[in-house]
Amino acid sequence: MQNETILKLTQLRQNLHQNPELSGLEFKTSETIISFLEKYNPSEIIHPIGETGIIAVFKGIKSGLTTLFRCELDALPIQEINNFEYKSVTKGVSHKCGHDGHTAILCGVASLLSEDNEFSGTIYLLFQPSEEDGEGAKKIINDPLFKDIKPDFVFALHNLPNYPLGQIVVKNQTFSCAVNSMIIELSGKTAHAAEPQNGVNPANAISEIISTFNKKIQSDISQTDYCLITPIYINMGKKAYGVSAGFGEIHFTIRSNSNQNMDKIEKELVDCVAEITHQQKLQSKISWTQQFRANENNPEAVSFIRQSAVKNGFDLIEKETPFSWGEDFGLFTEYFPGAMFGLGAGENIPALHNPDYDFPDELIPIGVKMFYELIKEIHHAH
């Protein structure tokens, strides 16, 4: 990549960092990206898709495979504490997961594709909204504009603090865990606190649910039945000391290392709540939020990633266990063959979602070269 292009991508990244937007509100972010992409003559720009998303389409000189590369647009509701020149100007919102850097990388791929259409097939560059709340992938896949897009492969990357700068992290099978958050609402009957027997108080049920859920935890992520259940929030009754509570709710986040295992765990937990509430004469309502399907990497896609890293001379490491966090690219790998890989962000930088985190600009050309070599592997070989 030319130094001039790297400089433009760095300026773009820092501009995005300075002007962050929350999930589903990435309107100005989209405008900024479209104005950048238009200079590189994509065959088509599809916007809006999934409300605020963008797909830049690049067609090769002849028919062939279709590959989709995806990045994320949204920032987090975190107040930045950095003091550099391009720090966030939006109070309480900042790019603390590196989505600004991932976006700049995909824009770099667009710049290279504009200079070279000597490939077969079609490349889709997807700028996806709402990753942080788990809604964005669903919005894209369910958008009628996406129904005719059927990629042969899908790819994404994520920067990883605590790994050497520029190291490529690959894994067969599950890369990041399935995550789902469970909201249990319990309805009983209020009564005078002196006569609790005349009401139905949810306290015992809440206690029993926590105790039963705890028995299902298997916190060793190297095991196939990995299951982490974390209590997040409890609310019950009112601060009225003469009243025995008649309503309560409890929220959990559940993690597992495969979609199949997650589906099994979810059913077990639902059945468990039904049994406890029936015994306690309570009505229960269960809802789910912020669902992330596991990124289950396709072996052929991972093989292409390894080849790309080797061709570029990048340091490559095989991860043995999945990452415990969720990433909604897992919905794409559930629908299409594909893979996510990691890009080491340095061993001495703040962790993701920390208020002093900042994406390292040195990763931009590395990410671009990885994606572009994948294009050559897949689209120049067929």
Sheet strands (E) in the chain: 44-49, 53-59, 62-72, 120-128, 153-160, 168-170, 173-176, 178-187, 191-192, 227-236, 243-244, 247-256, 283-292, 295-297, 316-318, 338-344
Q: Give the pLDDT confidence of 273-328 residue by residue, as tens digits.
A: 999 999 999 999 999 999 999 999 999 999 999 999 999 999 999 999 999 999 99
Band of pLDDT at residue 381, cut at 50, 70 and 90 = low
pLDDT at 360 over 70: yes
* pLDDT tens profile 226-285: 999 999 999 999 999 999 999 999 999 999 999 999 999 999 999 999 999 999 999 999
What's the confidence (pLDDT) of residue 116? 84
Residues 75 and 21: beta-carbon distance below 8 Å: yes
Per the structure block, which two tokens stand in for 19?
């002007």
What is the tens place of the pLDDT at every residue in 150-174?
Answer: 999 999 999 999 999 999 999 999 9
pLDDT on residue 87? 98
Tell me: pLDDT of 109 over 60: yes
Residue from 175, 138, 340 nearest 257 by CA = 175
Nearest to 55 by CA among 152, 163, 157, 128: 128
CATH class of 3-174+294-379: alpha beta
| CA 60 to the chain's CA centroid | 29
Does pLDDT of 146 surpass 60?
A: yes
Burial 7-39 (b: 16+ CB within 10 A, else e): ebbbebbbebbbbbbbbbbbeebbebbeebbee
Report whether 31 contacts 54 (CB < 8 A): no
Domain 3-174+294-379 shares a fold with domain 178-292:
no
Residue 77 tokens read as: 């509701």
- By percentage, how much of the chain surpasses pLDDT 90? 98
C-alpha distance from residue 114 to each of 5, 39, 151, 282 (Å): 12, 9, 20, 62
* Residue 382 pLDDT exceeds 80: no
- For residue 130, CA distances in Å to 26, 66, 225, 234, 276 come to 8, 24, 29, 26, 35
Distances (CA, A) of 92 to 77, 88, 89, 102, 120: 6, 9, 9, 21, 45
Task: Inform me whether the pLDDT recorded for 71 exceeds 90.
Answer: yes
| Alpha carbon 66 to chain centroid, angstroms | 22
CATH of 178-292, one of 3.30.70.360, 3.40.630.10, 3.20.10.10, 3.40.50.1820: 3.30.70.360
Domain definitions of the chain by residue range: 3-174+294-379, 178-292
All residues at 6 or more sequence positions from 47 whose CB lies less than 8 Å from its CB, including other chains: 30, 34, 53, 54, 55
Maximum Cα–Cα distance across the chain: 81
What pLDDT sits at residue 313? 98
pLDDT in tens, 197-223: 999 999 999 999 999 999 999 999 999
Q: Span 77-101, mean pLDDT?
A: 98
Residue 274 pairs with which residues in a beta bridge?
A: none
Query: Following CA atoms 307, 308, 313, 318 in sequence, which dihedral angle do they give, to the nearest 10 degrees?
Result: -60
Confidence tier at 380 by pLDDT (50, 70, 90): confident
The alpha-carbon radius of gyration of the chain (Å, integer) is: 23
For helices 299-312 and 363-379, what crossing angle results, to 10°? 120
| pLDDT of res. 223 | 95
Burial bucket for residue 98 (CB in 10 Å: 0-12, 13-18, 19+) = buried
C-alpha 299 chain-centroid distance: 21
What's the pTM? 0.95
Q: Which two tokens stand for residue 92?
A: 């309480």
DSSP string, 335-360: HSSEEEEEEE-BTTSPPTT-TT----
